[in-house]
């Protein structure tokens, strides 16, 4: 299971990288969303999968899955959300101001 998830995350990284290299602002933001998904999956897989019950003590289980990666991912999800929000608003303002979402056109001073 872990290997499958890691390969899946790797493929997501591949897609995200391809999106990053494009010229369109929205594609890049989508890429960053996909990249964060991949990283969350990797974190999860590294902690070991399905090696016990959910980390809730009331369940009276012998073993629990590793709770630490879950806490880390939870933090990462929230931070990633904040960053994505900023990105999106920035993209909106950029388009409003410059009238384009093509990165090649957003190159600053022309004769520099």
Partner 1 sequence: MLTINLAIFIPFLAAIFIPFINNRFKQTHIGWFILVVPVVLFIALLRFIPTIARGETYINSSQWIPSYGIEFTTYLDGLSMIFGLLITGIGSLVILYSIYYLSTKESLTHFYIYLLLFMGAMLGVIFSDNLMALYVFWELTSISSFLLIAFWYHRKQSRYGAKKSLLITVSGGFAMLASFIMIYAMTGTLSIREIASSIDSISDHALFIPALILLLIGAFTKSAQFPFHIWLPDAMEAPTPVSAYLHSATMVKAGIYLVARFTPIFGGGDLWFWLVSGVGIITLFVGSFFAVKQTDLKALLAYSTVSQLGMIMSMLGFGSAALHAGYSPKSVVYTQAVFAALFHLVNHSTFKGALFMVIGIIDLQMGTRDIRRLGGLISLMPVSFTIAMIGSFSMAGLPPFNGFLSKEMFFTSALNVSNLDIFSLNTWGTLFSVIAWGASVFTFVYCMIIVFKTFFGEYKGRHHENKQFEPPIGMLISPIILGLFVVGIFFFPNLVGKYLIYPALGHIFPSMTLQLDAYSITAWHGFNTELMMTIAIVLVGGFLYLTLHRWRGVYRLFPETRSFDAVYNHSLSGMEKGSAKLTKLYMTGFLRDYLVYIYLFLVAVTGGVFIYTGAFSFDLSQDSPVSSYEWIFVVIILTAGFAILFAKSRLTAILLNGVIGFSIAFFFVLFRAPDLALTQTIIETVTTVLFLLCFYFLPEWKKESSPPSSKITNMLISVAVGLIFIVIGLSVNSGNLFEQVSLFFEDADELAGGNNIVNAILGDFRAFDTMLEVVVLFIGGIGVYSILKLKKWKGEENIEGD
The nearest distance, CB 50 to partner 1, in angstroms, is 5
Distance separating alpha carbons of residues 76 and 112, to the nearest angstrom: 39
The nearest distance, CB 32 to partner 1, in angstroms, is 11
Distance separating alpha carbons of residues 97 and 84, to the nearest angstrom: 20
CB neighbours (10 Å) of residue 42? 20
The nearest distance, CB 79 to partner 1, in angstroms, is 5
Distance separating alpha carbons of residues 107 and 68, to the nearest angstrom: 43
């Amino acid at each position: 299971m872990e290997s499958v998830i890691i390969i899946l995350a790797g493929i997501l990284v591949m897609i995200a990288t391809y999106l990053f290299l494009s010229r369109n602002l929205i594609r890049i933001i989508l890429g960053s969303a996909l990249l964060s998904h991949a990283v969350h999956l990797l974190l999860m897989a590294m902690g070991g999968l399905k090696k016990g019950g959910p980390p809730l003590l009331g369940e009276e289980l012998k073993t629990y899955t590793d709770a630490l990666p879950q806490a880390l991912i939870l933090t990462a999800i929230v931070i990633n959300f904040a960053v994505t929000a900023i990105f999106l608003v920035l993209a909106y303002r950029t388009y409003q101001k410059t009238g384009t979402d093509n990165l090649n056109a957003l190159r600053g001073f022309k004769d520099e």
